[in-house]
Structure 1
Amino acid sequence: MARPRKPLLSRDRIVATAGALVDREGLDAVSTRRLAAELGVSGPSLYNHFRTKDEILEAVADAVSARVDLSMFEEGDARDWRTALHDWAVSYRAALREHPHIVPVLARGPGRRPAGLRVADAVFGAMVRAGWPPAQATYIGALMRYFVTGSALSSFARGFVDDEAAYDPADYPHLGQAHLLAERREQVDEGAFETGLRALLDGLVLQYATVRGGRTEARGEGSAVRGDGSEARADGSAGAEA
């Protein structure tokens, strides 16, 4: 039997093509007609794999979620909960920055997306194992999603124009260097993210001390997430669940 001239249509191929289109042109560029043309197939053939355009976009978003590193939440990983949240947030933001146009879909939450649900499950489970009450673990997962997706939605530095005349000292006495922000976008945005992330995590450490009755280090260091629900400390002892 002769091989088909074009690759057979598959769910993965549709998602990859839709993702590339979103990356190039944004969400509004995606339509079943446009995707069919990109794939070299008839429009109705897409419906053998997806019922709607929204389902395709959900699958694209889930493919991005699948790229987020979750190893820090695995049982047996030596990182304490604060370090785990930090490393995960950095990985999460890196995935979103590579695909900024899909962030509005991801920001709606995981819904029924398998990879997105695995992320939520990993964060929640790790926080509960570290000793956070379930309600607080839920708040932490929500808080981290707000922070990371918000940081990926836009660039603070890009919001200023590269034109010194736009920031007349007579009108804006404190914005004399604002025209330089655009060319320093990477430095400004990365610095802002790390500053905010550290402040957020340090605040959680203070709350954790209260939750655990003061039985934690000042910065939450030395207490690793363990699979048995106890807290492994730097000196090798284990703290019982609250």
Structure 2
Amino acid sequence: MARPRKPLLSRDRIVAAALALVDAEGLAALSTRRLAAELGVSGPSLYNHFATKDAILDAVADAVIGKVDVSMFSDGRGWRQALLDWGRSYRAALSEHPHIVPFLATGPGLRPAGLRMADAVFGGMVDAGWPPAHATRIGALMRYFVTGSALGSFAAGFVGDATAYDPADYPHLGQAHLLAQNRDRVDEGAFETGLRALLDGLALQYADARTDTRAHGQS
């Protein structure tokens, strides 16, 4: 029997095509009709693998989160270093696929990779001595910080025209036109500055949080 001319449809193939479409054109471009056309199949055939478009988006989002390294929460490197390394890995994954970030910002729901990440972060913080309530807040604040940093570029928000920012109106923005061309360096530096400041603040709270829990017998 001759082999089929096109690869058989599978969940992985659908997710890969959907992610490529979102990467190229944004979330609004994704529809089951458009996705089926990209795959060279009929629309209804997608429903053999996913019940709804949202189910496809869930799988796409989870595929992105599946790229985030969470091994640092179980290898003994310490809670601060673990958060630092995880934050960098998390941002790297989202930065590769910025158009999916608004959908990811809604939370993990029942997505397996997202739940595994949440479980690893929470477990790592509790094992390191953080009270459970604090561990929950730390996971939340890291998600806010990382997803916010991946939603857009601060530096790219400035135009590259040296005459755009009149010093009479903006006396401190004489070099602002250089930001966009140095986008990666500026944005990466801002992320690292913020991440380290966040961890410095948590370090100040760590001893107090443990002491308060022991004193009051609550989390």
Instruction: Give the aligned partner of residue 155 of structure 2.
Output: 157
Instruction: Give the aligned partner of residue 220 of structure 1.
Output: none
Which residue identity does 2:19 align to in structure 1?
G
Instruction: Give the aligned partner of residue 133 of structure 2.
Output: 135
| Residues 1:55 and 2:55 are matched in the alignment | yes
Identity of aligned residues (%): 80
Please state how far the C-alpha of 1:53 moved relative to its aligned partner.
1.1
Instruction: Give the aligned partner of residue 13 of structure 2.
Output: 13
- Ranges of 4+ aligned residues in structure 1 off by more than 6 Å: none
Which consecutive unaligned segments of at least 5 residues does structure 1 have?
215-241
* Alignment match of 1:145 (pick from 136, 143, 155): 143
Instruction: Give the aligned partner of residue 216 of structure 2.
Output: none
Instruction: Give the aligned partner of residue 94 of structure 1.
Output: 92
1:137-161: CA deviation from partner (whole Å, max 9, x where unpaired) = 0000000000000000000000000
> Where do residues 32-181 of structure 1 align in structure 2 (5 Å cutoff)?
32-74=32-74, 77-181=75-179
Instruction: Give the aligned partner of residue 200 of structure 2.
Output: 202
Instruction: Give the aligned partner of residue 25 of structure 2.
Output: 25
Query: Aligned to 2:167, what secondary structure does the other structure show?
Result: coil
Please state how far the C-alpha of 1:212 moved relative to its aligned partner.
2.7
**How far apart in 1 are the matches of 2:6 and 2:179?**
47
- The count of residues paired between Structure 1 and Structure 2 equals 213
Which residue identity does 2:196 align to in structure 1?
R
After superposition, the CA RMSD in angstroms is 1.2
Which residue identity does 2:49 align to in structure 1?
H
**How far apart in 2 are the matches of 1:53 and 1:61?**
12
Give the TM-score of the pair, scaled to structure 2.
0.95
Which residue identity does 2:198 align to in structure 1?
L
**How far apart in 2 are the matches of 1:170 and 1:29?**
42
Please state how far the C-alpha of 1:60 moved relative to its aligned partner.
0.5
**How far apart in 1 are the matches of 2:185 and 2:9?**
42
**How far apart in 2 are the matches of 1:7 and 1:181?**
45
Instruction: Give the aligned partner of residue 225 of structure 1.
Output: none
Query: Aligned to 1:48, what secondary structure does the other structure show?
Result: coil
Of the two structures, which has the highest relative contact order with CA contacts closer than 8 Å and spacing of 6 or more? 1
Which residue identity does 2:157 align to in structure 1?
G
Query: Aligned to 2:47, what secondary structure does the other structure show?
Result: helix
Please state how far the C-alpha of 1:55 moved relative to its aligned partner.
1.1
Contact 2:131–2:210 (8 Å) recurs in 1: no
Which residue identity does 1:144 align to in structure 2?
M
Give the TM-score of the pair, scaled to structure 1.
0.86
Higher helix share: 2
Which residue identity does 2:119 align to in structure 1?
D
1:97-146: CA deviation from partner (whole Å, max 9, x where unpaired) = 11111111111100010000000000000000011111110000000000
Please state how far the C-alpha of 1:164 moved relative to its aligned partner.
1.5
Please state how far the C-alpha of 1:165 moved relative to its aligned partner.
1.3
Please state how far the C-alpha of 1:88 moved relative to its aligned partner.
0.2
Query: Aligned to 1:166, what secondary structure does the other structure show?
Result: coil
Which consecutive unaligned segments of at least 5 residues does structure 2 have?
213-218
**How far apart in 2 are the matches of 1:46 and 1:198?**
44
